[in-house]
Amino acid sequence: MNTNLQTPIDYLKGVGPNRADLLRKELGIHTYQDLINLFPNRYIDRTQYYKINQLQRNNADVQVIGEITNLKDVGEGRAKRLVATFKDDTGVMELVWFRGQKWIRESIKLGKPYVIFGKINWFNGVFNMPHPEMEFLEEHEKNLRSAMQPVYPSTEKLSNKGITNRVISKIMQELFLETKGNFSESLSENEISELKLISKSEALFNIHFPKNQELLSRAQFRLKFEEFFFIQLQLIIKNLIHKSKIKGFNFEHVGNNFNTFFKEHLPFELTNAQKRVLKEIRADLGSNAQMNRLLQGDVGSGKTIVALMSMLIALDNGFQACLMAPTEILSVQHYNSLFELCNKLNISIKLLTGSSNTSERKEIHKMLENGELQILIGTHALLEDKVKFKNLGLAIIDEQHRFGVAQRSKLWHKNDTPPHILIMTATPIPRTLAMSVYGDLDISIIDELPPGRKHIKTVHRYDKNRLKVFRFIKDEITKGRQVYVVYPLIQESEKMDYKDLMDGYESIVRDFPMPQYQISIVHGKMKAADKDYEMQRFVKGETQIMVATTVIEVGVNVPNASVMIIESAERFGLSQLHQLRGRVGRGAEQSYCILMTGHKLSEDSKTRLQTMVSTNDGFEIAEVDLRLRGPGDLMGTQQSGVLNLKIADVIKDKDILQHARHYAKSILKSDPSLSLPEHKVLRYTYSQLTKYKNIWNYIS
């Protein structure tokens, strides 16, 4: 009879109410099951012993045999600590305790051989080990040691309360004794034999008590694979349900608007990537199911024209379309560039933002409801309840990382039948990750820039070289170019940041005197109308320098601007730097991005700057960004469970991820409801994992 793994952890031998409480609060371990799934972070070699004269400053965890010859109190008040002199036949080191000194002092035996284990520091010419794990040598020798002793996740509170790694290992042993290490299999026999996996029980045993390196590796592979596999299974099933359940408008034909535009007004030839993506979108729009598509394309890859042509298809089928952007500046820009094209086609188009006045709003509301208005461009203002469409067929969201999922769903509910949704983002997410995170979205990628685009030359300069940089700017302006100077603006340090911006602005005004030079400034504290005015002066070429905070980060298009100066570049994240750089390099001229920083830089900042200098490729940058920050900041990661991974790592294990996704796909292809007898185990595991009780009704 198997032990029930849902048994509360309190019942396990060696746990008891106090420890159970701590395990729950600190590690979220409630049941036996949770404990089994507490996987070690790493393994250490406890078969190796160091002599004190072998210790090196880069030793992480070490194990030493020796004895304590002396104990003394050092320091006063909060700095008070207990220091032991620890000796072997090659030298002397110190052991240090900052807490629990009384208890340690009473339990330590001078002159008796101990085995100590822990991290060492080099301080004042000696090695010391704070809060070592200690054991009498005699006892130590009774236990078998492994070359791969697990190190479990822990918290400060746990170790303060005496739940050390050793205690957790002990509890884990109890768990295996009580359950006899017998755990039910979660994958079908097919998978296990096809993928040459070890069994669940064997994997769990070896992850906690590795017999050897090979079995440990196989255990890790099996558990990581399984973790990814079930997430992928969920995501793909969700997508299948979405497609079969959510009916969309069927845009059967491509008509006048699209064809006329394509033949007569297309300002350039589409890139192959743009053509491919348009095909994917057209297929969705005519498929009877609601489109829910993410369009990824680097800055400048030409997403706007794809958006317009998709909207034309909606119009050709008698529907309205809207395009929503995160900022006023960007909506205005979209509006301006689409207005002309729409005029040529005799299409009605309007702009709605926070600064639209009442009479404009009234007019728009009316025209939307009676169907006169065909395309609406705007900001969040589009989401207001008052904004009602007669028949919204397609909603496009630009730069979606600024909008949340909740807002997406608000657009959905503008009709009884949800409109088709296209989300455009210039913050590329590495392909493998995107697939695993955005399970309910289909993905299109524009992976090609329009022809003739020049590589943006990027350099890193220190503040002390500012004069040289200014001279360079002057040369560019003389050639007729325009320049952005961008300052960071971060909420926590907003006051200081505004000061920096204004100081910077003043010094630029001094160095670039009127009337020879004209300078615009745009920041978040200005009124929308003033911002717009300044922006327009720059767009029209009346000013040569635009000093701004990150409000210009998204989407602004001034092809004549060829230099981007980013001040305090070390304070920006990689994707932000890449977005900013994308504001230049939009015309025919060679463009430049200059990253200005102070002298002191953290390792991460250095990596970010080097990455920017070495590549223009948004996907490559996204990979580095992900490596530096982890996936936590990506939109959607919370929903998909990618963040709650227990053993696998989306970045380090991306090959396993891809493998798991492939496998999940092929299984669902042949058996979408997992109803074949050979998938019985899968189906059972899946149903345990998923909340959707009726999931099977929707598919197959």
Tell me how far apart the terminal alpha carbons of the chain are, to the nearest angstrom.
Answer: 36
Q: Count residues contacting ligand ADP (CB under 6 A)?
A: 16
Q: Which stretch binds Mg ion (CB under 5 A): 40-48, 248-256, 504-512, 547-555?
A: 547-555
Which residues share a beta bridge with 484? 546, 564
Among 19, 200, 222, 303, indicate the residue that binds ligand ADP (CB under 6 A): 303
Provide, rounded to whole angstroms, the least separation between the CB of residue 424 and Mg ion: 7
Residue partners of 373: CB distance under 8 A and separation at least 6 = 320, 348, 349, 350, 364, 367
By beta-carbon distance, which residue lies closest to Mg ion?
555
Q: Which stretch binds Mg ion (CB under 5 A): 286-294, 428-436, 553-561, 569-577?
A: 553-561
Closest CA to 658 of 428, 425, 430, 423: 430
Provide, rounded to whole angstroms, the least separation between the CB of residue 333 and Mg ion: 9
302 binds, among ligand ADP, Mg ion, none (CB under 5 to 8 A by kind): ligand ADP
Distance between CA atoms of residues 222 and 232, nearest Å: 15
Q: Does 299 bind ligand ADP (CB under 6 A)?
A: yes
Provide, rounded to whole angstroms, the least separation between the CB of residue 299 and ligand ADP: 4
Provide, rounded to whole angstroms, the least separation between the CB of residue 325 and ligand ADP: 10
199 DSSP 8-state letter: P
By C-beta, is 257 or 579 nearer to Mg ion?
579
Among 132, 248, 302, 378, indicate the residue that binds ligand ADP (CB under 6 A): 302
Provide, rounded to whole angstroms, the least separation between the CB of residue 552 and Mg ion: 13
Q: For the chain, how big is the Rg over CA atoms in Å?
A: 31
- The burial class, CB within 10 Å (0-12 / 13-18 / 19+), for 193 is exposed
Q: Which two tokens stand for residue 240?
A: 């299948």
Main-chain dihedrals φ then ψ at residue 267, nearest 5 degrees: -75, -10
Among 305, 332, 456, 548, indicate the residue that binds ligand ADP (CB under 6 A): 305
Provide, rounded to whole angstroms, the least separation between the CB of residue 323 and Mg ion: 10
Q: Which stretch binds Mg ion (CB under 5 A): 383-391, 491-499, 551-559, 631-639?
A: 551-559
**Phi-psi bin for 541: left (phi > 0), alpha (psi -120 to 50), beta?**
left
CB 358 within 8 A of CB 321: no
Q: Which stretch binds ligand ADP (CB under 6 A): 29-37, 56-64, 300-308, 651-659?
A: 300-308
Distance between CA atoms of residues 546 and 519, nearest Å: 6
Q: Which two tokens stand for residue 146?
A: 């492994």
694 DSSP 8-state letter: T
Distance between CA atoms of residues 611 and 683, nearest Å: 45
Residues 568-597 that bind ligand ADP (CB under 6 A): 586
378 binds, among Mg ion, ligand ADP, none (CB under 5 to 8 A by kind): none
Among 204, 342, 426, 621, indicate the residue that binds ligand ADP (CB under 6 A): 426
Q: Which stretch binds ligand ADP (CB under 6 A): 12-20, 148-156, 175-183, 296-304?
A: 296-304
Closest CA to 190 of 647, 695, 663: 663
By beta-carbon distance, which residue lies closest to ligand ADP?
302
Residue partners of 409: CB distance under 8 A and separation at least 6 = none
Provide, rounded to whole angstroms, the least separation between the CB of residue 487 and ligand ADP: 22
Residues 517-556 that bind ligand ADP (CB under 6 A): none
Distance between CA atoms of residues 491 and 130, nearest Å: 38
Closest CA to 476 of 616, 587, 552: 587
Q: Which two tokens stand for residue 673?
A: 């409801």
- The burial class, CB within 10 Å (0-12 / 13-18 / 19+), for 5 is middle
By C-beta, is 305 or 373 nearer to ligand ADP?
305
3-class state of residue 423 by DSSP: strand
- The single-letter code of the amino acid at 530 is D
Provide, rounded to whole angstroms, the least separation between the CB of residue 339 and ligand ADP: 14
Site string for ligand ADP, 450-489 (x = CB under 6 A): x---------------------------------------
By C-beta, is 223 or 426 nearer to ligand ADP?
426
Q: Does 272 bind ligand ADP (CB under 6 A)?
A: no
Q: Does 557 bind ligand ADP (CB under 6 A)?
A: yes
Q: Does 555 bind Mg ion (CB under 5 A)?
A: yes
Closest CA to 626 of 458, 437, 360: 437
Closest CA to 118 of 70, 86, 143: 86
Main-chain dihedrals φ then ψ at residue 422, nearest 5 degrees: -125, 125
Q: Which stretch binds ligand ADP (CB under 6 A): 219-227, 265-273, 593-601, 612-620?
A: 265-273
Q: Where are the beta strands (DSSP E) in 496-550?
A: 519-522, 545-548
Please count the residues of the chain: 700
By C-beta, is 395 or 648 nearer to ligand ADP?
395
By C-beta, is 138 or 269 nearer to ligand ADP?
269
Q: Count residues contacting Mg ion (CB under 5 A)?
A: 1
Q: Which stretch binds ligand ADP (CB under 6 A): 113-121, 299-307, 459-467, 474-482?
A: 299-307
Q: Which stretch binds Mg ion (CB under 5 A): 312-320, 354-362, 415-423, 554-562?
A: 554-562
Residue partners of 284: CB distance under 8 A and separation at least 6 = 291, 293, 420, 442
Provide, rounded to whole angstroms, the least separation between the CB of residue 303 and ligand ADP: 3
Distance between CA atoms of residues 393 and 310, nearest Å: 11
Provide, rounded to whole angstroms, the least separation between the CB of residue 264 and ligand ADP: 16
3-class state of residue 69 by DSSP: strand
Q: Which stretch binds ligand ADP (CB under 6 A): 95-103, 280-288, 302-310, 690-698?
A: 302-310
Distance between CA atoms of residues 251 and 278, nearest Å: 14
By C-beta, is 233 or 305 nearer to ligand ADP?
305
Among 297, 430, 439, 636, indicate the residue that binds ligand ADP (CB under 6 A): 297
The residue ranges that bind Mg ion (CB under 5 A) are: 555
The residue ranges that bind ligand ADP (CB under 6 A) are: 268, 270-271, 274, 297, 299-305, 426, 450, 557, 586
